Chain A
């Protein structure tokens, strides 16, 4: 009798870890269905949690409904990032009035260790971006790697304060699907703006 109980206990403990996860997944898909279908290619399929410059935790799907313009940077960057920030600022400036309030401009940190929410807040203020439509996000290293994989952005830490990274600005439509990528620094942003407008018009 005792052996049975023992065996049962072991089994319970053994299968617990994986079973729980399946259950969570099932619940997650259910809530998903309740809200609205998320398309196969949408970044809202990513379950990762991100923290913004105000210390608020969000999931990517909380951004649903607006067109997203995203770029991956790190705040201690001296070379390309200031130019990427400038590129983002120029894009935002050139957007027509009709798109205002429908576009989120988002910076995602590739250096979550250094870029704490406080650091992101300070960076936002320095750049006069601590307001709509700007958002700064950070997450765990694993989630960041995953997000970069989705964006086909490459990055590598080359010293504790310096990273190599791709300079890519990505545009997502209101369903979270990647519709356009601008590659390179200081390039002409006409096509990017066109694609943002198009995505807004299709909302």
Chain B
């Protein structure tokens, strides 16, 4: 009898890891490494540990499921501290999208708080800027494609294309890691987006306000050729966690189970 219970329990746990680990299908393993990001600690190498990343950005459909399960995050219930009036602006009501929207499009008009909470509920978290940029510097062939001229051009041509947020997820080719849509659909929240020390007013032609930021002189661009990345950092530096923006979505990551 005891034996049977053990076996039963064992099977249940095994199945649970398969169902909820989601490692093979929806999330992909990213092998850690070092690189010099656009803005780093004194322009030194940043080290990223191994982790799992969602293959695709979170979709409208997935977010509908989330708010059904967590009514606190529905449009009419959300606390203003956590999301401004633009939250889920393209939704008809608490659980239904406008008829113009597609279920398979990336969720946008979500705040950092909402995105963080979504990931937390899936047993995941938002990627750090360093993690996101690490995976995003890959193209289809190389883990670090930033040296290629075509890499930058492709991303910049997307930045110019209008209304890419209405496309369905998964339309772009898999990158080196098997991840899709880091470029080409929407921009994505990162857990520490508020570590970018550029003042919001970019027209002032200065990227650091020495009076407002302590030690900001130590943080500067290391690779100004990477203009696409520069735009991303500038964007992150200009937003606030309550903002909900039309072309800003997110995806989640997960730490390796045993470190």
Binding site for B on A (CB under 8 A): 5-6, 9-10, 13-14, 17-18, 21-22, 25, 29, 40-43, 45-46, 77, 79-81, 142, 145-146, 148-150, 152-159, 162-168, 183-185, 187
The interface stretch among B52-60, B160-168, B208-216 is: B208-216
The reply to whether A45 and B81 form a contact with Cβ atoms under 8 Å apart is: yes
* B16, B72, B197: the one within 8 Å of A14 (CB): B16
The interface stretch among B137-145, B172-180, B188-196, B250-258 is: B188-196
For residue B31, give the distance in angstroms from its CB to the closest CB of chain A.
24
For residue B246, give the distance in angstroms from its CB to the closest CB of chain A.
20
Which residues on A sit within 8 Å (CB–CB) of B16?
10, 13-14
The reply to whether A18 and B69 form a contact with Cβ atoms under 8 Å apart is: yes
Nearest-neighbor residue (CB-CB) of B116 within chain A: A146
The reply to whether A164 and B194 form a contact with Cβ atoms under 8 Å apart is: no
For residue B234, give the distance in angstroms from its CB to the closest CB of chain A.
13
For residue A79, give the distance in angstroms from its CB to the closest CB of chain B.
5
The reply to whether A154 and B12 form a contact with Cβ atoms under 8 Å apart is: no
Question: Known: A6-B8, A79-B215. Contact between A156 and B121, CB under 8 A?
Answer: no
B20 interface contact, C-beta 8 A: yes
> Which of A5, A14, A43 has its CB near the most chain B CB atoms (within 10 A)?
A14
Which residues on B sit within 8 Å (CB–CB) of A45?
79, 81-82
For residue B239, give the distance in angstroms from its CB to the closest CB of chain A.
10
- Apart from A154-B196, A154-B197, A164-B219, list 9 A-B contacts with CB within 8 A: A6-B12, A25-B70, A25-B72, A29-B72, A40-B81, A152-B194, A155-B194, A162-B215, A183-B212
For residue A12, give the distance in angstroms from its CB to the closest CB of chain B.
8
Binding site for A on B (CB under 8 A): 8-9, 11-13, 15-16, 19-20, 41-42, 69-70, 72, 79-82, 112-113, 116, 121, 123, 191-192, 194-197, 209, 211-216, 218-219, 237, 240-241
The reply to whether A43 and B41 form a contact with Cβ atoms under 8 Å apart is: no
Which residues on B sit within 8 Å (CB–CB) of A159?
41-42
Which residues on B sit within 8 Å (CB–CB) of A18?
69, 121
How many residue pairs between the two chains, A and B, have CB atoms under 8 Å in the bound complex?
Answer: 118
Nearest-neighbor residue (CB-CB) of B198 within chain A: A154
For residue B27, give the distance in angstroms from its CB to the closest CB of chain A.
17
Question: Known: A6-B12, A9-B8, A41-B81. Contact between A22 and B69, CB under 8 A?
Answer: yes
Nearest-neighbor residue (CB-CB) of A80 within chain B: B214
The reply to whether A167 and B81 form a contact with Cβ atoms under 8 Å apart is: no
A77 CA to B16 CA in the complex, in Å?
46
Nearest-neighbor residue (CB-CB) of B208 within chain A: A164
* A17, A77, A164: the one within 8 Å of B123 (CB): A17
* A6, A154, A187: the one within 8 Å of B195 (CB): A154
A135 CA to B42 CA in the complex, in Å?
32
Which residues on A sit within 8 Å (CB–CB) of B241?
146, 149-150, 152
The reply to whether A167 and B80 form a contact with Cβ atoms under 8 Å apart is: no
The reply to whether B113 and A158 form a contact with Cβ atoms under 8 Å apart is: no
* A5, A10, A146, A167: the one within 8 Å of B214 (CB): A167
Nearest-neighbor residue (CB-CB) of B82 within chain A: A45
Which residues on A sit within 8 Å (CB–CB) of B41?
156-159
* A42, A79, A148, A185: the one within 8 Å of B194 (CB): A148
Provide a sorted-by-A list of 13 A–B residue pairs whose CB atoms are within 8 angstroms.
A17-B123, A25-B70, A25-B72, A41-B81, A45-B82, A81-B214, A142-B191, A150-B81, A157-B195, A162-B215, A164-B213, A168-B212, A187-B211
Question: Known: A40-B79, A146-B116, A164-B197. Contact between A154 and B213, CB under 8 A?
Answer: yes
